[in-house]
Each structure stands twice: as C-alpha cells, then as structure tokens.
Amino acid sequence: MTKIVRLGHRLRYPITVVKLLKKPGDKIKKQESLMEYSFKWMKEVGDSIRGDTWQQEQTTIVTWDSPSDGELTHWLIREGQHIVGDRGAMEVKEECSHEIQFQGLCGMCGKDMTEVSWAAETRDTARAPINMVHDQTNLTVSAVQAQRTEEDLQRRLLQSRKLSLVVDLDQTIIQACIDPTVGEWQKDPTNPNHESVKHVKSFQLDDGPTDLARRCSYYIKMRPGLEDFLKRISDMYELHVYTMGTRAYAQNVARVVDPDKKLFGNRVISRDENGNIFAKNLQRLFPVSTHMVVIIDDRSDVWPRNRPNLIKVSPYEFFKGIGDINSSFLPKRQDLLTSGATTNGVKKGTKKEAAAKNNQDADAIGTDDPTVTKRQVEEQERAFEKQIKDRPLQVLQEKLDREDEEAEKATVQSDDGSESRSSSPPSQRHHVLQDDDEELKYLEQHLTSLHTAYYAEYDNTHHLTTNPPTSVPDAGRLLTQLKSRVLRGTKLVLSGVLPRGIDIHRSEIGLQIASFGAELRAKVSRDVTHLVVNAAQPGREKLLEARRRPHIKIVGQEWLAACFSRWAAVDETPYLFTARLVEEGEMGVGGVEVDEEGEEETGNESGKKLLNGKGGGGGGPKLKLVSPLGQTHTLQLEPGEDEDGEESDDDDGDDDDAGNNGEIEEGLLPDDLPDGQASPIDGLKTFNWGSADEELAEFLASGSDDDDEDEEDEEGEGDEDEDGGGGDRGKDRDGGYTPEPEEGGSSSSDEDMRRGRRGRRSRTASPAVSASAGRKRKGRGDDTEGDEVAEEEEGENGTPAKRLRRTESQRGSSLRNQYAAAGEGGDDGAAGSGLPTPGRSDGQDAEMEGALNGGGKQEDDEEEEMDFDVAELEAEFEAEFEMEVDKARAGVEGQGVEGQQAHGEELVGGETEKG
C-alpha cells in the first residue's frame, strides 16, 4: 500500500531542496515537516513614500509538510536538487488506504476523513468518490475497491452463468395507481372490473412523500405472467430493481412482486439513492464495467449513457390513463409509439412538452437542486391529489357504461328480435381494465436469446480457468448486434409520428429505429421500403409520394411498435394502410352533418381522413385519402359502389341527416381493391401532387382567414329556409344549385364547416380575395356548364334524378371540388374532372379562394369596386342582387332561388362588414 506523494503545485517553483528532515523508514504524520527547500523571489525595497524603490531578489527557506500519514519508504528527491515543477517527492507506505468511507469516516481504520489541513491538497474524502451500493448514499468506495468488487461480481456471475438485469418497476413490470376506485371494485364482485382487479395488490406507504400519499393505498398490478417470467429469468440473470419511486415505494413493490426476496434480494435502488433526479445511470451500480448488464425499462430517455444495454419494453398500461405515478420525476415522455388514441393526446402536447423539456434540461444542470426536487414533489403531490379526487378509472368506466347503455338501447330500438338477446345476459358491461398484455412473453425470448448469445461468445473466447474477468464479452454490444438484425435493410420514412422541427435521427423513435438496424429517411425516395404513418395525423406529402411507388408499404406506427416489441420484422399485413383517394363530395346529398365533419377534419388535418371501413384484404385499417378529385373521375373510379352508396345516402338524406354518419363508414367510401387489381386512379400516380398540396395549403389558409362570409352564409341559410316554401329542403337546394353546382354546394358545406369554427377565426378578410373572386367568376364561363355536366351524367346513368342529385352534391359539398373545377376554367366538367393541373399560377389560386369565399355567382366588376369603396355601393349592390335573383329564378325553372338569394345577401352582408 505504498503511494507516491507529490510535492503539490502550491509550492513556489522553481525550488531547491535544502535539507531532507526524515530518513526512509521513519514514521511520518500529517503536517509534519519533512524537508526544507528554498526559493527565490523579488521584493520591493526602498522608500515607498518617496517613490525611491527597487526590486531585490530574496531567497527564502521554508519547510514542506507531509500531506499524508504513514511510513516513509524512500525519497524521490535529494538534497540540493533544483525542482521546476510539481513532481513526486517520496514514497509512503500508508497504514490505511481509506478505500471505504462511511459518512466521512474511514471504514477501514475509523479515522475522520473530513478533517482538512493545509498540508494536503486534496481531501481524504475524495479518495473514495464512488457510490455503488444500492441502498446507501453515504457509503463510498475508491476506484480500486469498486473494481475489485465488480470483478468479484463478474466472476461470480460467470460461474453461475448469469448476467445482471436491471429492472424498472413502473410500467415495465408493474403498474401502480392510487385511484381509490380500484379498491372499491375489488370489494364489489358485481363490478365488471372485479375480475380484472382481483389480483391487484395494494399497500400503504407509512412514509409517503406527502400527507396525501400517506393516506392513500397504492394499487399494484403486475404485468400478466410476471411471476413466471421473473422466476425463469432469474435463472439466467441476477435481478436488480432500479426505480424512480421513493425507497419505501420501491421496497413495497419489491415485496409485492417478490415476497420471499428471492429474486431481488436487497438489490433495490430508488430515487432516494440515485443521486440524479432526471436520469438513471448504470454507472451508479456498476461503476467500472457494464459488460454484463442488461436493462429493461419502458423509457429509453432516462438512460442517456446506457442505451446499448437497454431493452426498451412497451409501457404497461393496465389502469388506463394513469401512466407512471412517479413520472413527475422524469422528463416528459416523447417516445410513445402506441395506438392512435393515446398518441393523439400526446402529440397535442408535444410542443409544450418540448418547451418543458428545455426547461428541464436547464434544471438538469443542478441535478440535486433542492428547489427542483421540491417542485417535483409538489408536482407529484398534485398529480396524486388529482387522481384521488378525479378518479379517472371510475370516470372511464362510467363513460363505457353509458356507451353500453346507449348501444343497448339502440339495439332494442332497431329490431325487436335483438331485444331479447341484448337483455338476456344481465348487464354484460364492458370493463375499462383489460389485461391483455403480452410483452413479457417477447421480453423473455429476447432475454433468453441474449443470454444464450452471450455465453456462446464467452465460451468461444474464454475458458473458465484462464479468464481474466476484465475481458468478458460486452452484453451491450451483443444486444446491439441482435437488435440491428431485426429490421436490417428496411428503409423507413415517418409520417405524422414526430412533431415538425425535431431532428428525426436524434429523436427517441429515430434512435430506436436505428438501433433495430433500419434506416430512417427524411423523405420518400425510390429505395424506401416502408412509410410509417400516424393514423391520427398522417403527413400528406409523404403519403402521396408513397402512393406513387407501389412497393412502399404504408404501415401504421403500431407495426413499428410490434417490431420493436417482438424483435422481428413483423408481417405488415394487419398494419397495412391503403392510401386511397376518396371523393369527398359523395358524402351526402342531405348529409349536412357529415359534410361538416368531413370538411372540418380535412381542413384541420391537411386533407386526409381515416375511416375504419369494412374489411379489405387484411381486415386492417384503411386510409382514405380525401383529395381534390373531380366527380367524373370518381365515377369511373368505382361505379358500382358509388351507386350503392348513393342510394343509401339518398334514402337518408331526405329525412334523417344524422344517419349518414354511419352510412359513410360502411357504404359510401369505396372498398380496398383486391391485390393485384389495377386501381382506377393509377393514372394519378404521375400527377404532381406536390404542387397540388401547396395550392391546397394556400387555399385552406385563406379559407380560415375570412369569416365575414360565414355569418352571412348563415343568414343566407335562414333566408333560404323561409323562402323555401313547400317541399323537401334537400331537393330544393339541389335544384337551386343546378346552374352553379360547385358554388352552391360548396357554400352550403362550407358554411356548415365554418359554423363550427367560427369562434376562433380572425376577422381579417382581405379585399384582394374578393377581388380575385370576381375575376375568377368572370373567367370561369357561364352557368350552363354545370347543367351540361349534369345532363351528361344523366345520360350515363340509369336513374337520372338520383344521379343528378348526387352529382351536384358531390361537386358541391367539397371545397376542393370547386377549386378543381374552377381551375379547369371553361373546360367542360366531365372531361376535365376535378384534377388540378400542376403548375397553376398563383392568380388562379387566388381565384379559387375568392370563389369559395364568395359563394354565389356575383357581378364581378361591382365586386372589385366594392373592395375600394364598399360602404357607398352597398345599396346599389342590394339592388343588383334582387335583379340577379329574379333573373336566376326565371332562368332556372324557378328553382334554387332561395340559394342564390341567400348567397347574394350573404355577399352583400360580407361587404358591409368589411366596410
């Protein structure tokens, strides 16, 4: 235990050793003088008051005092030596190396390590800086001791052919909640959830973080199959618990999971001992080598330094909506890759979360900052309070019950036959809590294969007798190898999965994709194999791009999650989306609500819509792509289905608008094509969608800008109703729009859509818009165009009336329809259909917008004037409108007056407001 003692850098070098005061073999004590040395320095001498001073060199002799105790074995310096810098001075045999320290006491000699003296440059406490004990923070060891301990551990593990497995608790092997509802359900055998919560264990913490937590019970649900899993895994792995919960919590959970302490023993580390409140660190437990350590955790972002050793499991969510009760101590999670509902919720908050993360990053600098900790404790307290008060589970169940009741009622009402059926099973209620998690099965496979691979490699390279334990195989490297085979050769593009403005390659999901060997691309290109879409909000451009290349499989992000979970390139079929263009206009003649819904959704979510249609090839979800398609095209697309859909629509349209909601999902949208059959819209693949997208985006943006028309729309609607006189309203409208199918229809649907959004619109209608509207109308040709279209179709189809109606509504109800048709200029609607041509000029775009805003056919010139002097011309306009209306009434068989009038007035009103 000899160590070399250095002179230290505090000496005034260069120095000359004058005399060695101790001989080798002497006992030395701290602060004892060991040698004398001299140094030279300059001193100002003379009369400082008169300013008569000069520098004079001085030589001073001082002693050097021992920084450490022990026995001097020999000097490394000799008398008279000139020393220019810090160097070793002597070798000292120490009595104690102070390698284990407990609260400032040396665990080996009992000396107080906190004493500080001038002689020593470093404190003795710094000699044992590593904290590697699970349940203590005040026991520290030196690097040497740590290495020794770890070598012992590795040797032992190798002998028993095990590895270390660090297990996270919350949402990895268990889920905890404090919702008292669980307790009530446990006591109530009639509750539908009783079966599920029967095996939920509970405990009360005697030293919970707050008063509140002290009073409540913690309910612990083990992941299905956990006991067997742990039992089998513990043959291959030595298990450690590493949780961000408190110590008491961790111990209680460990007691629940492992009552005999056979699995975890006392290898439990919690937030209290972690030393860092934001991240977990393997080095805390295995400071020297993590070669034999594997982690299972549901979050990879808390292991910033140990990613290679981590097997990320999908979070266990048994108590729906509760999440991780200790998550307030961790950064907000950003890596959810689960089904639409949750993802949706998460994505909404991503921006905020990103900001929050920044804050936390800032916080993370001072990891043990008491204020941060306090804030987190408060946060957790709030979350607890909320959970106890709000009882989210109960709320969920009640909601489910309500839905059940309604469903029951519906069945009872629909037909008498089902009545007996539905009532016969006495209140077979659905239950919120479902225990259908299979993760552990896969996890066990992974862990087993990793263990096998590890010891296969170990046996190849080592023989037990000769192994130096420092050169064991690295489990992290093996894990990386195993994982990287999974999706090798796959080139992925993500769509709608990550928020914009995030570096995809450094995001959680990006890192994970990379770790599984897949290549993540930012853009769809020729060699991309999969497009992973978030069903709730797919990215439009990438989707369209992917559609053009049939070899690109469009899969839901659940596919990715399944691959990650199973470590296999899962068959895509159940996750396959079919991007399909759907003519939105077909959604209903009278289906106002439907239109509204559709429009709103498309407006908000960049023109796409997902509906769970009836089963295609794999029975999976289908992506219905609502796009600016012309009506004629759609007819060609799927004539038979259109017909069906139309009929049902018609039936409902007259009396029951609400009925359409269901209709759409079943019948209105065309089904998937069987594999191999050429799609009628294949021709569109060559179409430049990018430019169309831009146009659409522009159009949507402008649409949300002007609200004036909206209110007028409503007024117009009212008028229409009043004037409608006798007869079916839907029919009236149809008729009314005949001359101007696009505009009439669009305004009605627009209106519905906007009605919903009115509140949040900003009132910033630009004059240019209405001006361009006028221009557009002028250029677009005359009223008869629409008629022609209608007639043409009548000829094609057997049921002229029906067909006509549908045609009109199809064209009319879609904003994009109108946009497309207008873009065609004077073309006949049949031939051109609604396909927007690439390379359209901006002016035309503006026209579109204008057309939408305007609604009815209007006088162009006047309108332009109005933009400049609106108020004055208001009255004049009104007159003009009257005339218009009359003309229209005469021209169009007396139908549709109401509609036009409505639009006219609407426009005037709009202008008034602008004025």
Partner 1 sequence: MFFLHNLERRVTLHPSYFGRNMHELVTTKLVKDVEGTCAGDYYIIAIMDTFDVSEGRILPGSGLAEFTVGYRAVVWRPFKGEVIDAITQTVNPHGFFAQAGPLRLFVSSHLMPDEIQYDASATPAQFTNNADIVIEQGTHVRVKIIGLRTEVGEMWAIGSINGDFLGYVTPNHICGLPTGIGSRKKAVAC
**Active site (catalytic) residues:** 168, 170
Residue 37 belongs to what H/E stretch?
strand 33-47
CB of 571 to partner 1, least distance (A): 43
Segment interacting with partner 1, rule: CB under 8 A, options 39-47, 254-262, 460-468, 848-856: 254-262
Tell me which of 10, 74, 123, 156 binds partner 1, using CB under 8 A. Answer: 156
Q: Any contact of residue 453 with partner 1 (CB under 8 A)? A: no
CB of 265 to partner 1, least distance (A): 5
Q: How many CA atoms lie within 13 A of 155 on its CB side?
A: 11
Give CA–CA dist 89/853, Å, rounded: 90
Residues across the chain: 915
Residues 93-112 that bind partner 1 (CB under 8 A): 100, 102-112
Nearer to partner 1, 76 or 133 (CB): 133
Residues 258-297 that bind partner 1 (CB under 8 A): 260-262, 265-266
The residue among 666, 683, 752, 662 whose CA lies nearest residue 714 is: 752
Residue 779 neighbours by CB under 8 Å, 6+ apart: 825, 826, 847
Residue 853 neighbours by CB under 8 Å, 6+ apart: 702, 703, 706, 709, 765, 769, 770, 773, 910
Nearer to partner 1, 251 or 900 (CB): 251
Nearer to partner 1, 138 or 428 (CB): 138
Which residue bears the tokens 């291959």?
236
Nearer to partner 1, 108 or 277 (CB): 108
Give CA–CA dist 88/439, Å, rounded: 58
Nearer to partner 1, 96 or 383 (CB): 96
Residues 347-386 that bind partner 1 (CB under 8 A): none
Say how many residues touch partner 1, by CB under 8 A: 31
Residue type, 430: H
Give CA–CA dist 93/102, Å, rounded: 23
CB of 154 to partner 1, least distance (A): 12
Q: Answer yes or no: are the C-beta atoms of 852 and 808 closer than 8 Å.
A: no
CB of 145 to partner 1, least distance (A): 7
CB of 73 to partner 1, least distance (A): 22
CB of 8 to partner 1, least distance (A): 27
Q: Is 22 exposed, middle or buried (0-12, 13-18, 19+ CB in 10 A)?
A: middle
- CA pseudo-torsion sign 685, 686, 690, 695: negative
Nearer to partner 1, 100 or 504 (CB): 100
Nearer to partner 1, 152 or 876 (CB): 152
CB of 268 to partner 1, least distance (A): 10
Give CA–CA dist 553/884, Å, rounded: 53
CA 520 to chain centre: 17
Residues 114-143 that bind partner 1 (CB under 8 A): 114, 133-136, 138-139, 141
Return left, alpha or beta for 839; rule: phi > 0 is left, psi -120 to 50 is alpha, else beta: left
Nearer to partner 1, 470 or 525 (CB): 470
CB of 97 to partner 1, least distance (A): 10
Q: Answer yes or no: are the C-beta atoms of 766 and 706 closer than 8 Å.
A: yes
The SS3 call for residue 814 is coil
CB of 243 to partner 1, least distance (A): 17
Q: Answer yes or no: are the C-beta atoms of 915 and 708 closer than 8 Å.
A: no
Tell me which of 152, 369, 379, 722 binds partner 1, using CB under 8 A. Answer: 152
What's 668's DSSP letter? I
Which residue bears the tokens 């079943």?
666
Residue 483 belongs to what H/E stretch?
helix 475-484
Residue 92 belongs to what H/E stretch?
strand 88-93
Q: Is 676 exposed, middle or buried (0-12, 13-18, 19+ CB in 10 A)?
A: exposed
Which residue bears the tokens 């005040």?
138
**Where along the sequence are the contacts to partner 1 (CB under 8 A)?**
100, 102-112, 114, 133-136, 138-139, 141, 145, 149, 152-153, 156, 160, 260-262, 265-266
